[in-house]
Structure 1
Amino acid sequence: MLKVENIDVFYGNIQALHNVTIEVNEGEIVTLIGANGAGKSTLLKTLSGLLKPKKGKIEFLGKSISGKAAQTIVKSGISHVPEGRRVFSNLTVEENLELGAFLRKDKAGISSDLNKVYETFPRLLERKKQLSGTLSGGEQQMLAIGRAIMAKPKLVLLDEPSMGLAPLMVQTIFKVIEEINNDGATVLLVEQNAHMALSVANRGYVIETGKVVLSGPSAELQSSEEVKLAYLGG
């Protein structure tokens, strides 16, 4: 579904990604693990069109999306749930969700997906008329994921969905990631909590200082001494 080949990405003169190659097959959950500042978020931003690669190719569903505008990439079926939630705090919960469906024209489908988001996150239904800036961190994360679902994506890019959340809320968010995947969306997940990420993912890539240093099935990465020492607390 997604093919990234040998991309280099820079912030000004500083190179953030070096010759990165990954692929994501339809129906998978694939996780990117690595330390803070390793380049994981940079890769997601590049896939969603917020950054442009200097070199290399990005293909989605067999078509090149390298250097395309963010709205074109959303139209093609990729939704990005950014790090730090980024909900529109001065809009209500429902207005945020409706904005997720901005590019869609199928009113019946939008209404049905809105109901589905409320079924998945009953807390959002209770707070649908509330300004999203007044929600807790966990509720804002639910809203950010719900907003992405409203675009009816084929591929969801999730950046640090568990960051700053209470353990119980982390469990809820990961259950939802599995549900989204079971409903037919492919997921590319960036996550500091390597234990949780590898427990839901089919495969993973380890990124260090902007380079892919290891990849393989989740079970293989979980049992790798290198991964255990660096990311799973030994």
Structure 2
Amino acid sequence: MLKVENINISYGAIHAIHDLSLEVKSGEIVTLIGANGAGKTSTLRAISGLNPVKSGEITYEGKVISNIGAHKIVGYGLSQVPEGRRVFGDQTIEENLLLGAYLRKSKAEIKASMEEVFNLFPRVKERRKQLAGTMSGGEQQMLAIGRALMAKPRLLLLDEPSMGLAPIVVEEIFEIIKNIRKAGTTILLVEQNANAALQIADRGYVLETGSVVLEGLAQDLLHDDSVRKAYLGE
């Protein structure tokens, strides 16, 4: 479904991503783990068209999407939930969700998608007329995921969905991620909580200083001594 082949990304003189390659197959949850500054967010932003790629190639469902505008990539069926949620605080929850569907034309289909989001996130439904800025961090994360789902993506990119959330809310968010996959959406997950990410993923990639240093089945990575020592606090 998604292939990233030998991409390089630079910010001025800083070479942030070095010959990075990864693959996501349809129906999978794939996770990228690594310390702060390892290049996880830069990789996601390159896939979704927000970071230019200096060299290498990104293909999605057979189309080359490297250095194509982000709005076009959303139209191809790929949505990103950004780090830090980035909801529009002065808009209502309903308005935030509708912004996620801005490329879609059918009002009936948009309404059906909103009902699907409300079924997934009952708390979001209860507060649909409330300003998004008045919600808790966990509720804003749910709204940000719901907004991305309003574009009807076949591949969903999630950037640090557990950041800054209480453990009980993190548990809930990861259950929701599993349910989104069950409903047929493929997921590429960037997450500092390596243990939680590897528990729900099929496969994983470990990033260090802009390069993949380890890859494999999530269960194998969970039991890898170097991963346990570096990322699982053991």
| TM-score range for the pair, normalised by the shorter chain length | over 0.9
User: Is it true that 1:91 corresponds to 2:91 in the alignment?
Assistant: yes
Query: Which position in structure 1 is the counterpart of 2:32?
Result: 32
Query: Which position in structure 2 is the counterpart of 1:171?
Result: 171
User: What is the SS of the residue equivalent to 1:168?
Assistant: helix
* Displacement after TM superposition at 1:108 (Å): 1.7
**TM-score, normalised on structure 1?**
0.99
Instruction: Report the AA paired with residue 128 of structure 2.
Output: K
Rounded to whole Å, the distance in 2 between the matches of 1:223 and 1:171 is: 21
Matching of residues 53-72 of structure 1 within 5 Å = 53-72=53-72
Rounded to whole Å, the distance in 1 between the matches of 2:108 and 2:13 is: 48
Q: Point out where structure 2 has 5 or more consecutive residues left out of the alignment.
A: none
1:124-182, CA deviations, whole angstroms, 9 ceiling, x for partnerless residues? 11111111011111010000000000000010000000000011110110011011111
Rounded to whole Å, the distance in 2 between the matches of 1:40 and 1:93 is: 28
Q: Point out where structure 1 has 5 or more consecutive residues left out of the alignment.
A: none
* Displacement after TM superposition at 1:106 (Å): 2.1
Instruction: Report the AA paired with residue 204 of structure 2.
Output: G
* Displacement after TM superposition at 1:12 (Å): 1.4
Instruction: Report the AA paired with residue 71 of structure 2.
Output: Q
User: What is the SS of the residue equivalent to 2:192?
Assistant: coil
The alignment's C-alpha RMSD in Å is 0.6
Rounded to whole Å, the distance in 2 between the matches of 1:107 and 1:182 is: 25
Query: Which position in structure 2 is the counterpart of 1:13?
Result: 13
Rounded to whole Å, the distance in 2 between the matches of 1:175 and 1:106 is: 30
1:65-115, CA deviations, whole angstroms, 9 ceiling, x for partnerless residues? 010000011001110000000001110000000110110112222111101
User: What is the SS of the residue equivalent to 1:49?
Assistant: coil
Query: Which position in structure 1 is the counterpart of 2:82?
Result: 82
Rounded to whole Å, the distance in 2 between the matches of 1:26 and 1:134 is: 36
Instruction: Report the AA paired with residue 36 of structure 1.
Output: N
Structure 1 segments of 4+ aligned residues over 3 angstroms from their partners? none
Query: Which position in structure 1 is the counterpart of 2:185?
Result: 185
Rounded to whole Å, the distance in 2 between the matches of 1:65 and 1:34 is: 25
Query: Which position in structure 1 is the counterpart of 2:50?
Result: 50
**TM-score, normalised on structure 2?**
0.99
Query: Which position in structure 2 is the counterpart of 1:233?
Result: 233
**More displaced stretch, 132-141 vs 104-113:** 104-113
Matching of residues 67-146 of structure 1 within 5 Å = 67-146=67-146
User: What is the SS of the residue equivalent to 1:214?
Assistant: strand
Instruction: Report the AA paired with residue 38 of structure 1.
Output: A
Query: Which position in structure 1 is the counterpart of 2:23?
Result: 23
1:11-38, CA deviations, whole angstroms, 9 ceiling, x for partnerless residues? 1111110000000000000000000110
1:190-229, CA deviations, whole angstroms, 9 ceiling, x for partnerless residues? 0011110000000000000000000000011011111000
Query: Which position in structure 1 is the counterpart of 2:159?
Result: 159
User: What is the SS of the residue equivalent to 1:184?
Assistant: coil
Aligned-pair identity in percent equals: 60
